[in-house]
Amino acid sequence: MPHTEHIDDDESGRTSAEWLGLETTRALSRAGASVTVGSRDPSRAAPALDGTERVEIARLDLLDPASIDAFATRYLDSGRPLHILVNNAGIMGGELVRDARGYESQFATNHLGHFQLTLGLLPALRAAHGARVVNVSSGGHVLSDIRWDDPHFTAGYDGMLAYGQSKTANVLFAVELDRRWAEQGIRGYAVHPGIAFGTNLAPWITDAELRAMGVIDESGRPVVDPDRELKTPRQAASTSAFAATSPLLAEFGGVYLKDNDIAPLNEAPSAIAFGAEPVAVPGVEPHAVDPESARRLWELSDRLLKG
């Protein structure tokens, strides 16, 4: 029976990462996988997963390198192979927060924490003799390339640019992981789940702003309109499950997936004005799949982890 490592993260309220994680966990469990859920607060995650078969919960804080190492060590000590790793945790926008190393928190959580965890679990991924690593990205990657000269925003902060940078990093990580590890039977994928603002991904956005953006109605209920990428948590999680399990991807890796398919390369740069009505981004921006940038980010990430 395959073993899935699913990564979740807790913010105030129940976040988009939590909802997507919950729905992805349920889907993989129904398919017969044993699932380990990483959570900063296992006691808080447990009630949501009550009744889901073959699920265990372990503590994991992606802003704490020691917590990541401890989590990976516990898993490796279990001797189990790891067939699917879903790097799902995410935070979006808000005020500037730095971790204990001084790293900007969105880049540190959404990318570096997953990067460290994936490298830590590499022996278990190899032992599966056929594994997939799924990075949950976003159409928000169009907001920013990697800020090579200032990834931690020491010269002025913009929360949404920081979010965009972290989501670009998710895609580039999948591209380079696939290049490095495909010959070992480990394939990498990046996923755009869609927009599920009702899941409280960005709790700093007011209901008035969400109504103005057309993502909740006058009663405060999330608007579901997949043509505008507005999805239920279950719909949003479907592409993660597709990336993790579909035989259609057996010969493909290092790709950006959207709506249960490989997304095209955008021919012209996309523009998103945050606060306006969401605009569906047709595919992936060239900066997010550039192989040289992917190699450069891997090297930068490795240096940052070493301090």
Please give the positions annotated as active site. 163
Where does residue 78 fall: left (phi above 0), alpha (psi -120 to 50 degrees), or beta otherwise? Answer: alpha
Strands of 255-258's sheet in order across: 55-59, 34-39, 3-7, 84-87, 131-136, 186-192, 255-258, 261-262
Strands 84-87 and 131-136: parallel
- Alpha carbon dihedral 47, 53, 58, 63, in 10-degree steps, equals -80
Cα maximum dimension of the chain = 52
Q: Which residue has the tokens 């590499």?
A: 122
Q: Which two tokens stand for residue 75?
A: 């898993």
In the chain, the amino acid numbered 212 is A
Rg (CA), the chain: 18
Q: Which residue has the tokens 């971790």?
A: 99
Q: Residue 70: CB partners within 8 Å, gap ≥ 6?
A: none
Strand locations in 126-211 (E): 131-136, 186-192
Distance CA 147, CA 167 (A): 12
Distance CA 274, CA 299 (A): 31
In the chain, the amino acid numbered 40 is R
55, 49 contact by CB (below 8 A): yes
Coil, helix or strand for 87?
Answer: strand
Distance CA 48, CA 46 (A): 5
